């Protein structure tokens, strides 16, 4: 089912009695969610993710804008008539019912022509239980299940009516790290098998990046960027998006464009593509991905080494530079590299494709073509 959000906006009265200002939870959200895709709705706490999901489910009414499921305008439809499946962080299972009864619950409330026989209901419940791999747990009560198993039951319950759209609000946040990883792969598998259009809300960038066909990055109620996860990571439109995606996070420096070079501090670290037109000098934010740094004896960027963190396959080299906006610079270097830890100064070359420039006022991307110093060819 294709889902279209049209100028979707939600404002709340301020929670404080003194202030008359409105809280803009979601502002002018426009997006056509392609049929059968899994969308990761991503952003920091309070950015409007849950509100967006609640508008799509019908639990909340928009202040402005419309929602379509396919051609159908569902903006004023009650949640129970939208054909949605909902899963929340806290499972919300009925504690006194067994797993089977929990899954059957949505089916038992079907009326009129949708009404199912006991036999049909049992079959549907079993099919779904198999899909989410909980068929052995059918007679247990939620209290007798692990968090991961409870969340599977919640997913089964949301899927049993074969919803048109599946909405998941931080479904993995209550699980420990291992289960989180496993359950997110499960969600991806189930989504691929059922091909149900799914919106997955999370504040965890890695989680969103790993399972989504498309990610939508939000901040303060406003969509910042939409795209395939790799494309957004490789080409952030704004400093916010650049900083929000990636671990360790991107390193931001005070930079300058002058003499057809990018300067970090006093050092010319990259060259502007000689084929592009002369660039007027300006100050910029230069954001450098951790994997952009290449250890090089005569590299143009010098930093002060402050430590090395072992990450297994790679090491994270921690250093400082007076032009850095964060106290520490983190660079990812393959563990095979020999690092002379006695030497307090380390020098880096930078991979130009992993360096992004942003306007200092608007924090929007400045698109200039950067290339390596002199020798070129390094990407
Ligand atoms: P998220 O899910 O991304 O953490 P929410 O959608 O829950 O964000 O909230 C977005 C903004 O709207 C926040 O500033 C939040 O405080 C505000 N908000 C949410 N619900 C209400 C409400 N019922 N009344 C007033 N403000 C609200
Ligand atoms: Mg939320």
Distance 42 CA to ligand 2 centre (A): 10
Q: The dihedral of CA 301, 307, 308, 309: what is its sign? A: negative
Among the bound ligands, the one closest to the CA of 219? 1
Can you tell me the distance from the alpha carbon of 362 to that of 355, in angstroms, rounded to the nearest whole number? 18
On the question of pLDDT at 15 being above 80, the answer is: no
Least confident of 36-50, 104-118, 198-212, 241-255: 104-118
Query: What value does the mean pLDDT take over residues 32-47?
Result: 97
Evaluate: CB of 55 within 6 angstroms of ligand 1: no
On the question of pLDDT at 367 being above 50, the answer is: yes
Of 25, 27, 173, 221, best ligand 1 pocket probe by most atoms within 8 Å of the beta carbon: 25
Among the bound ligands, the one closest to the CA of 173? 2
Query: What value does the mean pLDDT take over residues 161-170?
Result: 95
pLDDT digits (tens, 9 = 90+) for 302-355: 999 998 888 778 889 999 999 999 999 999 987 777 776 677 899 999 999 999
Which token pair is 182? Answer: 């496993």
Nearest CA to ligand 1 atom 2: 50
Evaluate: CB of 48 within 6 angstroms of ligand 1: yes
Distance 11 CA to ligand 1 centre (A): 9
Nearest CA to ligand 1 atom 26: 12
pTM, entire model:
0.92
Query: What value does the mean pLDDT take over residues 152-174?
Result: 93
Q: What is the predicted pLDDT for the residue at 341?
A: 66
On the question of pLDDT at 228 being above 60, the answer is: yes
Query: What value does the mean pLDDT take over residues 213-217?
Result: 98
Query: What value does the mean pLDDT take over residues 270-281?
Result: 88
């Amino acid at each position: 089912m294709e889902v279209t959000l049209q100028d979707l906006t939600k404002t709340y009265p301020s929670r404080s009695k003194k202030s008359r200002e409105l809280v803009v939870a979601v502002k002018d959200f426009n997006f056509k969610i392609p049929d059968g895709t899994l969308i990761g709705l991503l952003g920091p706490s309070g950015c409007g993710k849950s509100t967006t999901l609640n508008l799509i489910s019908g639990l909340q009414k928009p202040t402005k804008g419309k929602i379509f499921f396919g051609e159908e305008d569902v903006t004023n439809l009650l949640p129970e008539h939208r054909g949605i499946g909902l899963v929340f962080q806290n499972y919300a299972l009925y504690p006194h019912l067994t797993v089977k009864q929990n899954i059957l619950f949505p089916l038992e409330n079907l009326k009129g022509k949708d009404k199912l026989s006991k036999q049909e209901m049992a079959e549907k419940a079993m099919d779904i239980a198999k899909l989410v791999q909980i068929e052995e747990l059918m007679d247990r009560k939620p209290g007798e299940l692990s968090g991961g198993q409870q969340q599977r039951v919640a997913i089964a319950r949301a899927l049993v009516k074969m919803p048109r759209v599946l909405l998941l609000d931080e479904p993995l946040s209550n699980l420990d790290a291992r289960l989180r990883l496993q359950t997110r792969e499960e969600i991806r598998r189930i989504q691929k098998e059922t091909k149900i259009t799914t919106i997955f809300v999370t504040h965890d960038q890695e989680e969103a990046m790993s399972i989504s066909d498309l990610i939508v990055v939000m901040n303060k109620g406003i969509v910042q960027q939409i795209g395939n996860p790799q494309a957004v990571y490789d080409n952030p439109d704004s400093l916010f998006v650049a900083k929000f995606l990636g671990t360790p996070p991107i390193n931001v420096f005070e930079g300058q464009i002058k003499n057809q070079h990018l300067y970090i501090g006093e050092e010319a670290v990259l060259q502007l593509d000689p084929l592009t037109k002369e660039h007027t000098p300006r100050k910029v934010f230069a954001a450098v991905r951790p994997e952009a740094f290449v250890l090089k004896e005569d590299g143009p960027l010098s930093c002060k080494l402050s430590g090395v963190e072992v990450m297994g396959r790679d090491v994270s080299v921690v250093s400082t530079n007076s032009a850095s906006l964060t106290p520490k610079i983190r660079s990812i270097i393959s563990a095979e590299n020999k690092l002379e830890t006695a030497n307090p100064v380390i020098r880096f070359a930078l991979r130009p494709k992993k360096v992004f420039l942003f306007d200092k006022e608007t924090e929007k991307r400045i698109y200039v073509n950067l290339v390596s110093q002199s020798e070129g060819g390094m990407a």
